[in-house]
Amino acid sequence: MQRNSGPISTFVRLAMRFSSWPLLAPARLLAGAAVVACLLPVAAAEAAPPSGKTLVNGWQIRSQSAQPGEVQDAPPEEGTGTPSTPTDAPATPAPQPGAYIDTGVPSVFDPVAKKSAYSGTVRRYRIRFRGPATPKGFRWLLRFEGVRRNAGVLLNGKRIGRSKTPYIPFEIEAKGLRPKRTNELTVIVDNRKDRQLAEGWWNWGGIIRPVRLIPAGRANVKDLGIMSKVRCRGQATGCSAKFLVDGTMQKLGGKGMIQPTVETTFRAPGGRITKRVVKLRKQGKRNRPIRLAVPIRRPQLWSPESPRLYRAKVVVRLGGKVQQSRTIRTGLRQVSVRGGRLRLNNRAIDMRGTSIHEDMPGSGTALTENDMNRIIFDLKAVGANVTRTHYSLNERLLQKLDRHGILVWNQAPVWQRDRLLGRSADRAKAYRQLEGTVKAARSHPSVITHSVANELVHYPDQSSTTSLYLKNGSKKARELDPTLPVSVDIKTGPQIGPQRAYTKYFDIIGLNEYFGWYRRAPVFASLPDYLAYMRATFPGQALVVTEFGAEARPENASDPPDKKGSYAFQTNFTRDTLDVLDNAPFLSGSIYWTLREFEIFPGWTGGAGARAPQFPTTRHNKGLMTYDGQLKPAWFLVRERFKARPLYRP
């Protein structure tokens, strides 16, 4: 066991030793901390803060009077930049308020994708609960892991906050909570879509992730993140490591200044314990950013083949009294780009995997524990060592991906938004979504990159506002998580030439590749030359094929192999594509789109032509599995190829 002793200068010397990190000189490492950090003894016994509470049982829901959602234009067909077939979804009529009925949380308004529901509506959730006892100096925060799309929050009849940021968690102070008495929490959920906002998935509405009451003392670290900085001289050998504890110290209530103490404890998989205690500077009402470095001796690295996790505990005290206590499971690993190759623990990798959407039959996007276990099982069964989606994943699902050693391509939900990025207010929304996406995922060792956008214009250097978003977005992602490479996913097709926005701001370029499928790249035989061209054009960036695939629709299952939409076409197309990708040694990975079918906007054709009217028009059929989990022939091909492909390059 590692013990802390010796003079005050011990911690300073350690901080200096590990400060040879770009952007993180010692002063930056201890931003918000005292000029000299102190190693303080841990109290033998202390009063624990009050326990949190998850609001699970007793939820009810009813309809809410509201103007109908707008009639929706379909988003541009993937990569064309032109509108798809217009949706045939009428505006959702304004419902009359009805009686409350029992419901569960997490949940969606309706787990069946009906065309008339796509434009959105408004529902009112409520729950009555007994307020927990509240020790002196404490208050309560309501944490919502996910509400789509917008939320108005009332406690005991008074509005206490709102959120307009779907896809990311948010917290609101539970002002007016009555300890040891009945309280009523009301959440008005509005999923009416902005007609201008393109999204390539179903417009699920509801409280889709858990709601929790969290205790908070006068000193509270908001957006706590624990990141790892590892440097290996050899391939996963000769490694030095440190954890970064990052967040914003808030002063909640009370008069005068506060001077919190932050204690971090890291328990290694083998049991070794590392502790650090730092006394921060005094602060008043103004929140202070903090970032503390904790060196780790004999680091045990996380990797897909050995997903070892540390137990991290962060305790905030004032005058020796605990104000906040958080426990996080995290890991140590190095992710870097060198010589145009993506590396994990200083080993070049060549990933194989499938993308997912949080969308399961009977649940929609409000995943149950069984749904998440099934997603993990399906990813492992098909041989995937990486996955990707278009928004921040459920925290519980990320924890499972950490434990099972499946890498995650973390992406902000900024898709085909160039026109909106021309407006400062809409750019601000995109930045908020990016910030929330990075913060929600940065403590997870399975996450290997933060992608700031998906499928913007082909030529960003010719669009000043798109280029501005890419510049500022990449900068923001690096500031929030300086330990990971930053990426952007782009449409393939034309030979775009060197784009300063890519070469200057990004470490990895994701290629959404549909040669031979969509009209923007109709000739499949051009794919090898295109990939070689991209390697020559962007020699310093790692290249990963982040999308490829073909629709395979049930009504066309038995059609000839040369007909798009048939199961045979999907299988042959996938085999031919993998033949090319497997023979491109400069790629760092390939991710099939997608593992399972999911619900999408009405009228989707996916490049396979018009549907027969007797079949659903809200289903994306590129999945290797049907929506209800049946395996298509291409699934078996992909499993064989993925399982035969080693993760590490020689």
pLDDT tens-digit profile of 519-548?
888 899 999 999 999 999 999 999 999 999
Q: How many CB atoms lie within 10 A of CB 113?
A: 23
Structure tokens at 29: 């490492």
Q: How many CA atoms lie within 13 A of 606 on its CB side?
A: 28
Q: How many CB atoms lie within 10 A of CB 251?
A: 19
Got the DSSP string for 129-192? EEBPP--TT-EEEEEES-EESEEEEEETTEEEEEE--TTS-EEEE-TT--BTSEEEEEEEEE-P
pLDDT at 14 > cutoff 70: no
Give pLDDT, residue 174: 98
Confidence of residue 68 (pLDDT cuts 50, 70, 90): confident
Q: Work out the percent of the chain whose per-residue pLDDT is above 90.
A: 78
d(CA 508, CA 506): 6
Q: Which residues contact 130 (CB under 8 A, 6 or more apart)?
A: 180, 181, 182, 183
Q: Which residues contact 7 (CB under 8 A, 6 or more apart)?
A: none
Question: What residue type is assigned to position 556 of the chain?
Answer: N
pLDDT at 281 > cutoff 90: yes
pLDDT at 507 > cutoff 80: yes
Confidence of residue 7 (pLDDT cuts 50, 70, 90): very low
pLDDT at 36 > cutoff 80: no
d(CA 56, CA 351): 38
Q: Which residues contact 462 (CB under 8 A, 6 or more apart)?
A: none
Question: What residue type is assigned to position 533 of the chain?
Answer: Y
Q: When comparing pLDDT for 114 and 293, which is higher?
A: 293
Q: Are 456 and 418 in contact (CB under 8 A)?
A: yes
Give pLDDT, residue 605: 74
pLDDT at 2 > cutoff 60: no
CA angle centred on 227, ends 225 and 229, rounded to 5°: 160
pLDDT at 495 > cutoff 50: yes
Q: When comparing pLDDT for 543 and 614, which is higher?
A: 543
Share the mean pLDDT of the chain.
89
Confidence of residue 188 (pLDDT cuts 50, 70, 90): very high
Q: Is the peptide bond before 106 cis (omega within 30 degrees of 0)?
A: yes
d(CA 580, CA 226): 39
Q: Are 519 and 462 in contact (CB under 8 A)?
A: no
Instruction: Please compute the mean of the pLDDT values over residues 44-63 and round it to a whole number.
Output: 85
pLDDT at 360 > cutoff 70: yes
Quickly tell me which residue has 């307020």 as its tokens.
Answer: 131
Q: How many CB atoms lie within 10 A of CB 330?
A: 21
Instruction: Please compute the mean of the pLDDT values over residues 121-141 and round it to a whole number.
Output: 95
Question: What residue type is assigned to position 89 of the chain?
Answer: A
Instruction: Please compute the mean of the pLDDT values over residues 373-389 and round it to a whole number.
Output: 98
pLDDT single digits (tens) 390-418: 999 999 999 999 999 999 999 999 998 88
Q: Is the peptide bond before 149 cis (omega within 30 degrees of 0)?
A: yes
Instruction: Please compute the mean of the pLDDT values over residues 630-650 and round it to a whole number.
Output: 97
Quickly tell me which residue has 């902005």 as its tokens.
Answer: 194
Give pLDDT, residue 265: 98
Considering the segment(s) 53-216 as one domain, its CATH architecture is: Sandwich (2.60)
**Alpha helix ranges (H) inside 220-341:** none
CATH topology of domain 340-643: TIM Barrel (3.20.20)
Q: How many CB atoms lie within 10 A of CB 132?
A: 18
Structure tokens at 222: 């908001």
Q: Are 93 and 66 in contact (CB under 8 A)?
A: no
d(CA 614, CA 626): 17
Question: What residue type is assigned to position 27 of the chain?
Answer: A
pLDDT at 115 > cutoff 90: no
pLDDT at 26 > cutoff 50: no
pLDDT at 186 > cutoff 50: yes
Give pLDDT, residue 254: 86
Domains of the chain by residue range:
9-46+222-333, 53-216, 340-643
Instruction: Please compute the mean of the pLDDT values over residues 88-103 and round it to a whole number.
Output: 71
Instruction: Please compute the mean of the pLDDT values over residues 597-606 and round it to a whole number.
Output: 86
Structure tokens at 111: 């787990």
Q: When comparing pLDDT for 540 and 253, which is higher?
A: 540
d(CA 408, CA 381): 17
Question: From the centroid of its chain, how far is CA 141?
Answer: 22
Identify the H or E element spanning 10.
helix 9-17
Q: Are 594 and 549 in contact (CB under 8 A)?
A: yes
pLDDT at 554 > cutoff 70: yes
d(CA 552, CA 622): 6
pLDDT at 3 > cutoff 60: no
Instruction: Please compute the mean of the pLDDT values over residues 374-402 and round it to a whole number.
Output: 97
Instruction: Please compute the mean of the pLDDT values over residues 321-328 and round it to a whole number.
Output: 96
Give pLDDT, residue 4: 39
Instruction: Please compute the mean of the pLDDT values over residues 584-588 and round it to a whole number.
Output: 97
d(CA 94, CA 440): 34
Give pLDDT, residue 84: 55
Give pLDDT, residue 203: 93
Separation of first and last alpha carbons in the chain: 36
pLDDT at 168 > cutoff 50: yes
Confidence of residue 89 (pLDDT cuts 50, 70, 90): low
Instruction: Please compute the mean of the pLDDT values over residues 487-512 and round it to a whole number.
Output: 96
Give pLDDT, residue 96: 64
d(CA 159, CA 283): 29
Give pLDDT, residue 1: 39
pLDDT at 31 > cutoff 70: no
Instruction: Please compute the mean of the pLDDT values over residues 301-321 and round it to a whole number.
Output: 97
Question: What is the DSSP-derived secondary structure letter of residue 303?
Answer: E
CA nearest neighbour of 601 among 263, 189, 200, 116: 200
Homologous superfamily (CATH) of 9-46+222-333 is Immunoglobulins (2.60.40.10)
Q: Where are the beta strands (DSSP E) in 280-415?
A: 288-296, 302-303, 306-307, 310-318, 321-330, 335-338, 341-344, 347-348, 351-354, 386-388, 407-411
Give pLDDT, residue 602: 83
pLDDT at 45 > cutoff 80: no
* Residue 556, helix vs strand vs coil: helix
Give pLDDT, residue 88: 56
pLDDT at 71 > cutoff 80: no
CA nearest neighbour of 281 among 38, 41, 35: 35
What's phi and psi for 464, nearest 5 deg? -65, -35
Give pLDDT, residue 48: 73
pLDDT single digits (tens) 411-468: 999 998 888 899 999 999 999 999 999 999 999 999 999 999 999 999 999 999 999 9
Q: Are 355 and 389 in contact (CB under 8 A)?
A: yes
* Residue 448, helix vs strand vs coil: strand
Structure tokens at 428: 């601000």
Instruction: Please compute the mean of the pLDDT values over residues 281-294 and round it to a whole number.
Output: 94
pLDDT at 82 > cutoff 80: no
Q: Are 555 and 519 in contact (CB under 8 A)?
A: no
pLDDT at 47 > cutoff 90: no
pLDDT at 208 > cutoff 80: yes
